[in-house]
Homo-oligomer: A and B are copies of this chain.
Amino acid sequence: MNGTVNISTRQLRAFVALVELRNFTRAAQKCCLSQPAFSALIQSIEAEAGVRLFDRSTRHVELTAEGQLFEQWASRLLLDFDTAFVNLKDHVTLRRGRVAVSALPTIAATMLAPVLAEYHAAYPGVAIEMFDTLADASLALVREGRADLALTAGKVEHPDFEVHRLFDEPFHLVCRRDDPLLARPTVMLDDLAGQPFIHMVRSSSIRQKIEAELAAVPMRMVMEVAHLATVGAMIESGLGISVLPAQAVPRLGMPSLASRPLGGKPLFRTHYMIQARQRSLSAAAVTFREILLARLKRE
């Protein structure tokens, strides 16, 4: 480590200023320094280089042969330095950057969409990467560092992850507006017994939740589908009913569907935000997190 050069950008800037102005007094002003301090700064570069870089009398300041040589490098070095730092600062100030979020498809389509919109409006220079995928894949992305944050609908217990509880979302009965079930003042869980039921596929976290909580209620499975919109379309067509996260229903944009809270034992899922415990969040991710939490608090 000894014998290596040690030069600061202040010294480089001083050199470049003096090359440009050929005058210690004015170059010192440009560098916001007293003239003697500036003089010392120039001397420190010359000491580091081992040569005089300027010939100076009280009347003239000129580059020496070695100074001319160094001049060719100095401004480019400085430019590269500044470019690197401007780039870095751009990321810190979110003029540029990247944030990656993963979430279950239903969460992505419901809670997350407006947050992403707000974030993008505020920081249009930051690229957003959105993974809408199953819970396990979501967590894997965070673990691998490919996603900064994951939103899940179930608690995760693992030392690798830092978990932050967001809010509870109730499950609602979803059926056609003309369904006889809606005639009752409140629909109880047991009322669903024997009803034709549209399920999500088994890998879906909604399906898993329904199976776990409604195990006691015998229902007729009409079919199982992969996408929420398909569930909606099936209900609309009179094939059956379903029980879905409350926020998901209006997002389907199907006016002939009705959703209704269920009486009896409260049925809900809890949303969590998850991040890797070891890794710190990027500036872009930190701000995304803040916007997400602020929006939830607001509602």
Give A contacts to B, CB under 8 Å.
Answer: 1-2, 4-10, 13, 30-32, 49-52, 55, 57, 60, 62, 64-66, 69-70, 73-74, 76-77, 80-85, 87-89, 91-92, 98, 278-285
| Known contacts A1-B13, A73-B84, A88-B70: A283-B30 contact under CB 8 Å | no
**Given B4, B6, B52, B70, which contacts A84 in the complex, CB threshold below 8 Å?**
B70
Q: How far is the CB of A91 from chain B (nearest CB, A)?
A: 6
* A and B contact pairs by CB, cutoff 8 A, 25 listed: A1-B32, A4-B82, A5-B9, A5-B82, A5-B85, A6-B10, A7-B8, A7-B85, A8-B9, A51-B88, A51-B92, A55-B280, A62-B278, A62-B279, A64-B280, A65-B91, A65-B98, A66-B88, A66-B91, A70-B88, A73-B84, A73-B87, A77-B77, A77-B84, A80-B80
Q: How far is the CB of A199 from chain B (nearest CB, A)?
A: 40
Please name all residues of chain B whose beta carbon is closer than 8 Å to the beta carbon of A51 when the two chains form the complex: 88, 91-92, 283
**Interface majority SS (helix, strand, loop, mixed), chain A:** helix
| Interchain CA distance A81-B66 in the complex, whole Å | 16
Q: How far is the CB of A279 from chain B (nearest CB, A)?
A: 6
| Interchain CA distance A134-B65 in the complex, whole Å | 25
Please name all residues of chain B whose beta carbon is closer than 8 Å to the beta carbon of A80 when the two chains form the complex: 73, 76-77, 80
**Given B85, B89, B282, which contacts A64 in the complex, CB threshold below 8 Å?**
B282
Please name all residues of chain B whose beta carbon is closer than 8 Å to the beta carbon of A1 when the two chains form the complex: 13, 30-32
Q: How far is the CB of A156 from chain B (nearest CB, A)?
A: 21
Please name all residues of chain B whose beta carbon is closer than 8 Å to the beta carbon of A8 when the two chains form the complex: 6-9
Please name all residues of chain B whose beta carbon is closer than 8 Å to the beta carbon of A60 when the two chains form the complex: 278
Q: How far is the CB of A200 from chain B (nearest CB, A)?
A: 35
Not counting A8-B8, A69-B88, a sample of 17 additional A-B residue pairs whose C-beta atoms are within 8 angstroms of each other reads A2-B32, A5-B82, A5-B85, A6-B9, A7-B9, A49-B88, A51-B91, A55-B280, A62-B279, A64-B279, A65-B98, A66-B92, A66-B283, A70-B88, A73-B80, A73-B87, A73-B88
Please name all residues of chain B whose beta carbon is closer than 8 Å to the beta carbon of A81 when the two chains form the complex: 5, 7, 77
A9 in contact with B13 (CB, 8 Å): no
Please name all residues of chain B whose beta carbon is closer than 8 Å to the beta carbon of A55 when the two chains form the complex: 278-280
| Interchain CA distance A49-B31 in the complex, whole Å | 20
Q: Number of copies of this chain in the oligomer?
A: 2
| Interchain CA distance A88-B49 in the complex, whole Å | 7
A65 in contact with B282 (CB, 8 Å): yes
Please name all residues of chain B whose beta carbon is closer than 8 Å to the beta carbon of A66 when the two chains form the complex: 88, 91-92, 282-283
| Interchain CA distance A52-B281 in the complex, whole Å | 10
The closest CB in chain B to the CB of A93 belongs to B50
Q: How far is the CB of A290 from chain B (nearest CB, A)?
A: 16
Please name all residues of chain B whose beta carbon is closer than 8 Å to the beta carbon of A85 when the two chains form the complex: 5, 7, 49
| Interchain CA distance A51-B6 in the complex, whole Å | 23
